[in-house]
Structure 1
Amino acid sequence: MSTTVSNPSALTIGKLAEAAGINIETVRYYERRNLIEQPTKPEHGYRKYPQATLERILFIKRAQELGFTLDEITTLLTLSETSCHEVKDLAEQKLDTVQAKIEDLQSLQAVLNNLVIQCQNNPDESHCPIIESLLPSRTPLDPVP
């Protein structure tokens, strides 16, 4: 899908939403969040959004795909008008958050691998190591008796 519109001054909210791959309510939500500007309504006809609004929405979507929240995107948009250093700081904070999540997921993977191995090597079908590890008196890292 091409994101360039042949007549940028003629982007109604519906055309804008379609070109951006979002729905009209998302456009309105972005307006309420002050992520994009709502054009003034002419006396007759519909509001017209410029190409820059489409580009801004595509920026927002890409930032969301990278894991930035709308609050962080608001900050990015504000910082884009100032210092690259400040944008770098925000990106480094996000990177730290992502790295912490990866570490948590790797720990979870190790625990689950251990539980699956315990289950595979379980000679007593009357108890399940996985169920027992979920009991309040145990932690998943405790060895199964």
Structure 2
Amino acid sequence: MTGLRSSQLASAACVNRQTLRYYERRGLLAEPERSPGGHRLYPPDAVFVLKVIKAAQRLGFTLDEVADLLAAGGHRHGRADAGLQERARTKLAEVEARIADLDVIASTLRAAVDAGCDDLVACAGQPCCPIPFAPLGADAEVRR
């Protein structure tokens, strides 16, 4: 029997051993064979799978989304569409929306710094306060 032990795989893929077990439980990583001594023995391609998972996470995909992408791809030969294009477009739209939100937050924080806001409560009472406090009536509407 040959293969990579947990520590070897974790080191090669730059993850920890608990991550390997977690990914196994989630179905992202196939359960490995065992050595006669009970040690997990992963196939060499598990390093690549782990790197794909981590790359997808860095792109903003959740583990559930990664699992779906892996299952859809599933090494099905001849399948032209495993869903990555559509999911990448959806994720891109989400990321662009978050960037737009972060731009608004950054602009508001810059304005608060420029206005010299030191005390949140005191600033909120000033007409020049750049922080977008919702009117009290709007807050009551949200709670209903």
Q: Shorter-chain TM-score: what band?
A: 0.7 to 0.9
* 2:141 equivalent in structure 1: none
- Provide the rounded CA distance (Å) in 1 between the counterparts of 2:15 and 2:118: 46
* 1:84 equivalent in structure 2: 81
- Provide the rounded CA distance (Å) in 2 between the counterparts of 1:19 and 1:134: 52
* Cα distance, 1:115–1:98 mapped onto 2, change above 3 Å: same
**Residues 9, 42 of structure 2: 8 Å contact kept:** yes
5 Å matches for 1:11-26? Answer: 11-26=4-19
5 Å matches for 1:64-83? Answer: 64-81=57-74, 82-83=79-80
Q: Would you identify which runs of 4 or more consecutive aligned residues in structure 1 move more than 6 Å?
A: none
Aligned residue identity for 2:131: P
Matched, 1:59 2:52: yes
* 1:30 equivalent in structure 2: 23
* Cα distance, 1:39–1:104 mapped onto 2, change above 3 Å: same
The alignment's TM-score, normalised by the length of structure 1, stands at: 0.74
* Cα distance, 1:85–1:42 mapped onto 2, change above 3 Å: closer
| Aligned sequence identity (%) | 35
- How far apart are 1:51 and its partner, in Å? 1.2
* Cα distance, 1:133–1:87 mapped onto 2, change above 3 Å: farther
The alignment's TM-score, normalised by the length of structure 2, stands at: 0.75
Q: Any idea what SS the aligned residue of 1:84 has? A: coil
- Report the number of matched residues: 125
- Provide the rounded CA distance (Å) in 1 between the counterparts of 2:35 and 2:11: 22
User: CA offsets per residue over residues 61-103 of structure 1, 9 Å max, x none?
Assistant: 1111111110111111122235536211111111111011001
* Cα distance, 1:63–1:77 mapped onto 2, change above 3 Å: same
Structure 1 unpaired stretches of 5+: 1-8, 120-127
- Provide the rounded CA distance (Å) in 1 between the counterparts of 2:87 and 2:119: 40
Structure 2 unpaired stretches of 5+: 134-144
5 Å matches for 1:60-139? Answer: 60-81=53-74, 82-84=79-81, 86-119=83-116, 128=117, 131=120, 132-133=122-123
